[in-house]
Amino acid sequence: MNSQPRIPFVNLDRQYDRLRPQMNEAIQAVLDSKAFIQGPFVESFERAFAEYLNVKYAVGCSNGTSAISLALEALGIGQGDEVITVSHTFAATASAIIKIGATPVFVDIDKDSYTIDPRAAEEAITPRTKALLPVHLYGTPCAMAPLAQLAKSRGLLLVEDAAQAHGAKLGDNCAGAIGDAATFSFYPGKNLGAYGDAGAIVTNNEALAAQLRKLRDHGRRSKYVHDTVGYNQRMDAIQAAVLSVKLQHLEDWNIRRRELASRYDMVLRQKGFKTISCPDDVTPVYHLYVAEVSNRDSVAKRMEGEGIATGVHYPVPLHQQPAFASWKGAREFPVTDRIVSRIISLPICGELTNAEQDLVIDAFVSVAEP
Ligand SMILES: *Cc1c(COP(=O)(O)O)cnc(C)c1O
């Protein structure tokens, strides 16, 4: 059995230690209320999260995957419709599209931001295309201006997968506040993470929010009246209470992540490593800190030996996955294919200290090659 690394990838132990009194009280309040599913704790979190993002509506749901499929279905997307997204993302982006009967159309990414290449998206449009589904991967907002322009000129819906981008900004707008709808995951390791599964869809469209509230809860209009065939994909109140506590710290954690990222950047770039770069008007939130190396296996092994956790997000792109390869089509993915064997994710989170980061940097530069 592996022992806990000296420097874990995300330090949730330390985070809970700091939040313990506040957190235990918030969870106790749900236990005392017995309002375990949806109800006032969920409504209160939905209002706070919508306000934080400066959007009109947030609809809590069971996880970030159901958030994507609920958003697409509520927007009228289904059988025969094509949804353009990236191959370089977590599997859920594609499975959520497929599970509502639609067809994912994978495209390549930009080599500097690791997010969707708007020109590749444009080239993939067909008469069946209904939506663009860009992913703000690693917490870096996609190039939303050209995507919004493309969606508008070609009559497409724009849905943002913001599962890794809580609080990221483009100019004054939050990632998630730009498209017709955006989806979030609160998986425990995300920048805003629950103590279990949870997700949300945000939108400024009132009718869409109402439809989402029905779909997530058995298609209900009221307790005994079902307007539509829905799902049980609700948010539970303990998760909402946890998220309400953590939301108050999210901005500080994101600031700390940016500080850590710029410390990493300073050393790594000077030594010739390629790291994430984004335009000046973008404020990323570094859900992951990713660098490119030519000897990844040796780097990961050496760091593991020194008790430092690393990750790869993601080693096998969706167009090469057994589950999704049949949707590859004739498209090519030169950037994705090149980077997937080079990328490595280093520890980053609101609780990582400078001293710990220095150990990570020392171990990394002693073995990594650009
Ligand atoms: C985490 C994640 C999801 C899925 O969220 P779950 O809450 O795990 O269902 C979807 N897309 C991306 C990009 C993610 O990182």
The CA 314 to ligand 1 mean position distance, Å, reads 13
Q: How far apart are CA 122 and CA 129, in angstroms?
A: 10
**For a substitution probing ligand 1, which of 61, 63, 65 has the most ligand atoms within 8 Å of its CB?**
65
What spacing in Å lies between the alpha carbon of 276 and ligand 1's midpoint?
Answer: 20
Could you identify the atom of ligand 1 that is nearest to the CA of residue 136? 13
How do residues 193-230 score in pLDDT, each as one tens digit?
999 999 999 999 999 999 999 999 999 999 999 999 99
Q: What is the spatial distance between Cα 346 and Cα 337, in angstroms, rounded to a whole number? A: 21
Percent of the chain with pLDDT strictly greater than 70: 99
Q: Identify the sign of the CA torsion 191, 194, 196, 198.
A: negative
* Ligand 1 mean position, distance from CA 43 (Å): 22
Strand partners, 153: none
Instruction: Return the ligand 1 atom nearest residue 198 CA.
Output: 7
Phi, then psi, of 314 in degrees rounded to 5: -135, 145
- Spans of the chain below 70 pLDDT: 1-3
At a CB cut-off of 8 Å and minimum separation 6, what does 323 contact? 91, 95
DSSP sequence for 280-296: TTEE---SSEEEE-S-H
Backbone angles phi, psi at 200, to 5 degrees: -155, 155
Minimal-distance CA residue to ligand 1 atom 3: 64
pLDDT at 3: 61
> Distance between CA atoms of 248 and 258, rounded to whole angstroms?
18
Express each pLDDT in 284-338 by its tens digit.
999 999 999 999 999 999 999 999 999 999 999 999 999 999 999 999 999 999 9
Rounded to an integer, what is the distance from CA 317 to the centroid of its chain? 16
Spacing, Cα 196 to ligand 1 middle (Å): 13
In the numeric block, which tokens belong to residue 243?
Answer: 């998220």
- Residue 366 phi/psi, 5-degree rounding, is -75, -15
pLDDT score recorded for residue 233:
98
| Residue 137 CA, closest ligand 1 atom number | 13
Ligand 1 atom closest to the Cα of residue 89 is 13
CB neighbour list of residue 149: distance below 8 Å, 6 or more residues apart: none
Gap between the Cα atoms of 348 and 7, Å rounded: 10
Q: Which of 199, 201, 207 is nearest to 227 (CA)?
A: 207
| Type of residue numbered 158 | L
Please give the model's pTM, rounded to 2 decimal places: 0.98
For the CA atoms of 112, 185, 350, 295, the dihedral, rounded to the nearest 10 degrees, stands at -40
Q: What is the pLDDT of residue 24?
A: 98
**105 token code pair:** 């159309």
User: In sequence order, what are the residues at sequence separation of 6 or more whose Cβ sits closer than 8 angstroms to the Cβ of residue 1?
Assistant: none
Q: Look at residue 5 in the predicted model and tell me its pLDDT.
A: 82
Which residues neighbour 308 within 8 Å (Cβ) at sequence distance 6 or greater? 5, 6, 7, 347, 359, 360, 363
Kindly report the length of the chain: 370
What are the structure tokens assigned to 358, written together?
Answer: 């220095």
Ligand 1 centre from 155 Cα, in Å? 27
Residue partners of 78: CB distance under 8 A and separation at least 6: 100, 101, 102
